[in-house]
Amino acid sequence: MPVKSLSLVPLLAVLALAAGCSKKNAAPAPAPTEVGVIVIAPAAISLTQELPGRTSAFRVAEVRARVSGIVLKRHFTEGGDVKEGQLLYTIDPAPYQAALDSAKAALARAEASATVSGLQAERFKKLIEARAISQQEFDDVDASHLGASADVAAAKAAVQTAEINIGYTQVTAPVSGRIGLSQVTEGAYVQQGTATLLATVQQLDPLYVDLTQSSTEVFRLRRALADGKLQSASENAAKASLILDDGSLYPEAGTLQFSDVTVDPSTSSITLRALFPNPKNELLPGLFVRARLQEGSTSDAILVPQLAVTRNTRGEATTLVVGAENNVDLSVLVTDRAVGNQWLISNGLKAGDQVIVQNLQRIRPGAIVKPIPATNVPTSTIAAR
């Protein structure tokens, strides 16, 4: 029996050696993947909105003929700037000068007749007091004097009308601004009855920008203000900035003038109007622009870089966050709007969450990771739009 027990020793030694070799050849457990994270912290931001619009002149004055006649001369350069009251056209004044002279002669004749009838009325007044004439004779002379005085008033009105008409032969600029193409040339016949268009003057400084905002956005903004999520900008500080068609920022700041009181039923939008200084006449009517309007501010905005947000098959915004056990969790987000290169999040994240922004391609939900602070991640918090 002892001989049999000793024969098991080599076998046990071989098994122990094999187990040791198996442990040495086993692969070590993989180390957790390092991922760059940012810690969510509420930030105070100003909320703005970019709205499309077009520029329009502050004033548009159509210069039209107010008397009929031949245009003798044009006194301006097309496309140039004119001042209010500056002479633009001369219409032949000869017939109106003749009418004025005739009206003045008629006035002189009426005044002479009124003088004679007045003297006669004075004499007849003394005679009626002495009972030398009948009451009927006195009444006839007195009525004749009143008629002559009325003729004088009518003649004065005719002189004034003739002076106004001769003044209309000198066509002046109704407002200061930039004048466009002349619609008539020297020698053209213009008419008072159809009010022939001569030219158009537009005041370009300042300049209007007409915008449209959806009624849905207006109601959303009002609800946010009512709930206290936004703090309204001061009415006196309702500033606006302008982005030109080429993407550049217009250097002058504007102000919001008013919003329409009705909703356009065809577009469900509301019209807004902003006013911008235009001292160098850089802006012209009809330009397509975008105006950035200040809506309000919030002190606890949750912002996430856009590079950390993707979309699932249902179109929902998602991001990867580090859970309590350093495992990767998938969080579904509700994005409100873009804030520069970030998203403003209204639901799905809270302060203190660690959002993964680097090494995203090497991890999946459920994986164990090692979070480290992310580097070189753009997190600018410019005004939301």
The CATH fold assigned to 64-92+169-202 is: OB fold (Dihydrolipoamide Acetyltransferase, E2P) (2.40.50)
Structure letter (DSSP) for residue 227: T
Q: How confident is the model at residue 378 (pLDDT cuts 50, 70, 90)?
A: low
Q: Is the pLDDT of residue 371 over 70?
A: yes
Q: How confident is the model at residue 197 (pLDDT cuts 50, 70, 90)?
A: very high
62: which residues sit within 8 A by CB, 6+ positions away?
Answer: 197, 200
Q: Tens digits of per-residue pLDDT, 157-185?
A: 999 999 999 999 999 999 999 999 999 99
The CATH H-level superfamily of 48-57+204-297 is Efflux pump adaptor protein, beta barrel domain (2.40.30.170)
The CATH fold assigned to 94-167 is: Helix Hairpins (1.10.287)
DSSP three-state, residue 304: strand
End-to-end Cα, the chain, rounded Å: 93
CA triplet 175, 159, 74: central angle to 5 degrees?
35
302: which residues sit within 8 A by CB, 6+ positions away?
Answer: 40, 42, 344, 345, 346, 349, 350, 351
Q: Which residue, 36, 11, 24, 33, is CA-closest to 357?
A: 36
Domain boundaries, the chain: 33-47+299-373, 48-57+204-297, 64-92+169-202, 94-167
Average pLDDT over residues 347-364: 90
Residue 256 or residue 203, greater confidence? 203
Q: Is the pLDDT of residue 27 over 60?
A: no
The token duo for 292 is 């950035």
What is the pLDDT, as a whole number, of residue 9? 46
Q: How confident is the model at residue 25 (pLDDT cuts 50, 70, 90)?
A: low
DSSP three-state, residue 272: strand
Task: Share the mean pLDDT of the chain.
Answer: 84
Q: What is the CATH number of domain 33-47+299-373?
A: 2.40.420.20
What is the pLDDT, as a whole number, of residue 5? 45
Structure letter (DSSP) for residue 147: H
Give the global pTM: 0.66
Q: Tens digits of per-residue pLDDT, 66-107?
A: 999 999 999 999 999 999 999 999 999 999 999 999 999 999
What is the pLDDT, as a whole number, of residue 299? 82
Of 119-128, 194-203, 208-217, 342-351, give the range with the top mean pLDDT: 194-203
For residue 124, report the phi and psi dihedrals to the nearest 5 degrees: -70, -25
Residue 255 or residue 383, greater confidence? 255
DSSP three-state, residue 123: helix
Q: Is the pLDDT of residue 330 over 50?
A: yes
The span from the CA of 303 to the CA of 379, in Å, is 8
Average pLDDT over residues 126-151: 84
Q: How confident is the model at residue 289 (pLDDT cuts 50, 70, 90)?
A: very high
The span from the CA of 49 to the CA of 384, in Å, is 7
